[in-house]
Amino acid sequence: DAGVIQSPRHEVTEMGQEVTLRCKPISGHNSLFWYRQTMMRGLELLIYFNNNVPIDDSGMPEDRFSAKMPNASFSTLKIQPSEPRDSAVYFCASSQLSYEQYFGPGTRLTVT
Amino acid sequence: GQQLNQSPQSMFIQEGEDVSMNCTSSSIFNTWLWYKQDPGEGPVLLIALYKAGELTSNGRLTAQFGITRKDSFLNISASIPSDVGIYFCAGRGPSIGAQKLVFGQGTRLTINP
């Protein structure tokens, strides 16, 4: 079975550009989570959805970040405009009626 | 907010040795999870614990949900080179959103052959 799929795996962009990260959760999972991982702050939850509805976005750093889940099999995390301090690895995870979250391979974002 | 203290931060051991790491919380947790992350990959779920006192094994890995509900332990027996990586604990507490997990800072395991 396919796990969580994320694209792109690597993204290099210039400051001020828009960045869109994509995630396909495991089929049948009803919850989706976006995390950011840095050396300084570790793994931070940005936002999560239940049944495509955003439940908690208290971890979203600021208005430059937005996330959508238009259907059960797709979610995006957008940063506009991007800044160098946004450089990190962004993970998507999904779960099905449990607390066991399954992570994708991540997108390594570098903003120059 | 809730925080997890994971220790040790790093371990350097010889192949074949046993490994122990733990996580402690300042408040009660209802669920403990242990993950392993390899370089360039996402965390992979190793063991999930749901009841205080629960002891669960997955091959050479054994994890326990502390009786006080404020700690959890992970042991690896007879370590092998593929055990190298970063191990994270994660917990879910009653005072936060139902599905939100709090992650420890990670334990980096290095094995000398």
Is pLDDT at A90 greater than 70 in this prediction?
yes
Beta carbon pairs, A and B, within 8 Å: 49
Q: What is the mean pLDDT of chain B?
A: 92
For B45, nearest residue in chain A (alpha carbons) = A102
Is pLDDT at B108 greater than 80 in this prediction?
yes
Chain B residue numbers touching A93 (CB-CB < 8 A): 42
Is pLDDT at A83 greater than 90 in this prediction?
yes
pLDDT per position as a tens digit, B46-65: 999 999 999 999 999 999 99
What is the C-alpha separation between B25 and B43, in angstroms, rounded?
A: 21
Check CB contact under 8 Å for A4 and B48: no
pLDDT per position as a tens digit, A21-78: 999 999 999 999 999 999 998 999 999 999 999 999 999 988 999 999 999 999 999 9
Is pLDDT at A97 greater than 80 in this prediction?
no
pLDDT for residue A67: 98
Is pLDDT at B94 greater than 80 in this prediction?
no
Q: What is the CA radius of gyration of chain B?
A: 14
- Helix, strand, coil % in chain A, rounded to nearest 5: 5, 55, 40
In sequence order, what are the beta bridge partners of B20?
B75
What is the C-alpha separation between A13 and A90, in angstroms, rounded?
A: 15
Is pLDDT at B1 greater than 60 in this prediction?
no
Chain A residue numbers touching B104 (CB-CB < 8 A): 42
The residue type found at A108 is R
pLDDT for residue B113: 78
The residue type found at B57 is S
Task: Considering only the beta carbons, identify the residue of B31, B41, B105 that sits closest to A99.
Answer: B31
pLDDT per position as a tens digit, B64-74: 999 999 999 99
Sorted by sequence, the CB contacts under 8 Å of residue B57 that are 6+ apart come out as B47, B63
What is the C-alpha separation between B22 and B8, in angstroms, rounded?
A: 8
For B47, nearest residue in chain A (alpha carbons) = A100
Question: With bands split at pLDDT 50, 70 and 90, how would you rate the model's confidence at A2?
Answer: confident
| Tokens linked to B59 | 């091959």
**What is the DSSP code (8-state) at residue A106?**
-
C-alpha distances in angstroms, B67 versus A59, A76, B44, B71, B105? Answer: 31, 40, 25, 8, 22
For residue B31, the tally of other CB atoms under 10 A from its CB is 20
Interface test with B, best of A10, A44, A101, A109 (most B CBs within 10 A): A101
